[in-house]
Every structure is written in structure tokens, then in C-alpha cells.
Amino acid sequence: MKYSISEIGKVAQTLIPLTENHSIFCFYGQMGAGKTTLIKELCKSLNVLDEVSSPSFGLVNEYKISEKGSIFHFDFYRIKNIEEVYDIGYEDYFDSGNICLIEWPEKIESILKKENFLKIEIEILNDIRNLSIQEIINY
């Protein structure tokens, strides 16, 4: 799906139905591709009650949503090693059934090999973005 930044709200709306059957969403894309922007719009569409911002230094932010409990937003860009992810107790988040939105998932590939997730890739094409979604099933 190709879109401009001004259409990001529509793109977020296409992800909403996917939250019914999936809880882990991994956002891939280079710096500046729009991962955080798309996550903000997705959270807005899911009626998040809190301010949404990148959890760059704390690794995870929790946002309250009125109907479904919480959404967990991870940003693994600055992790130095996988032990940092173990230290925050990632299993509690991933196994909670709550929506988990992950930026820079390539940094935790060894963990993701044990999870089922949606792989959302954002590619920059001049002034537009190309979004692809793939369901990853790991057994």
C-alpha cells in the first residue's frame, strides 16, 4: 500500500481490524520512515487516553485504552544487548494478550523467533511511503 504522510490516519484505520486476531505488531523501517507517526495514529484510532510518544530511553510505554486495557509501545533502537529486553520482563508484556507495538524489532530477532507477530514494513519512496504487512507464524 502506497500512501503520503497526510494519509497516515487512513493507513492506521486499515490496521485496526488486525488487532482483533493479533497482539504483537513489529514495525520495520529506516530512521525517519514514519514508524512512530504510524503508531501514534494507530493509538489515536484505538482511543488511547494517554499521550503517545516514543519510549526511546525507557524501552516501553504503557497507554490506557478505554475498552481493552493497555497497549504497550516498545522502542529497541538504543538497546546494547538482548539482556536489557529480558530485564524489563518482555514475556509479561508479550504474553499479556494486550497489543504490543514494537519499533526496531530487528534488534530482538532471537526473541521474535518464539513469537507470532505481524511484520509491518515501511519503505520511503521520495514523498510517499510503501507499507507491507506480513503475518509471521513461529512454532
Q: Choose the CATH number for 2-136 among 3.30.360.10, 3.20.20.70, 3.40.50.300, 3.30.70.270.
A: 3.40.50.300
* Residue 57, C-alpha cell as written in the block: 530511553
14-51-80 Cα angle (round to 5):
85
Distance CA 99, CA 57 (A): 20
Distance CA 37, CA 54 (A): 9
15-94-138 Cα angle (round to 5):
80
For position 66, what pLDDT does the model report?
74
Mean of pLDDT values over 94-121: 95
The tens digit of pLDDT for each residue in 23-43 reads: 999 999 999 999 999 999 999
Q: Is the pLDDT of residue 96 over 90?
A: yes
Distance CA 18, CA 2 (A): 18
Cβ pair 118, 136 in contact under 8 A: yes
Cα dihedral: 51, 107, 16, 70 (round 10): -50
Cβ pair 60, 73 in contact under 8 A: yes
Mean of pLDDT values over 89-95: 95
Domain boundaries, the chain: 2-136
Q: Is the pLDDT of residue 67 over 90?
A: no
Distance CA 16, CA 43 (A): 9
pTM of the full predicted structure?
A: 0.93
* Residue 34, C-alpha cell as written in the block: 514514519
